[in-house]
Structure formats: C-alpha cells, structure tokens
Amino acid sequence: MWYNIASANGQDQAGGYCDERAGLMTPAAIEKAQAMARECVRRQGFWHQ
C-alpha cells in the first residue's frame, strides 16, 4: 500500500519496490493493497499536489 502511494507521488524508487513486492503477492492481495492505498489517499489526503 505505501509503495503505491509513494509511487503515485513521484518517488521513483517506490515503483520498483512496488513491482518487486507484487511479484510475491497473489492477485487478490495486490487488488486489496491497491484498494487500501486508494482509500488511504481518499481519507487522509496523502496525494501530493
């Protein structure tokens, strides 16, 4: 979840870390992490403007 948020905010290394972790996760776990990241951003405003 945190790598998704960091990557969306322009942290270049986070995308690689996210891809690396995704290789260890099931499709359902990836979907859940992405949904959690979206909800976190929606609630907390972590999105970089």
In the structure, what pLDDT confidence band is assigned to residue 46 with cuts at 50, 70 and 90? low
Report which DSSP code applies to 47. -
Q: What does the pLDDT average to over 18-44?
A: 86
Provide the Cα torsion 44, 45, 48, 49; round to 10°: -160
In the structure, what pLDDT confidence band is assigned to residue 28 with cuts at 50, 70 and 90? very high
In the structure, what pLDDT confidence band is assigned to residue 48 with cuts at 50, 70 and 90? low
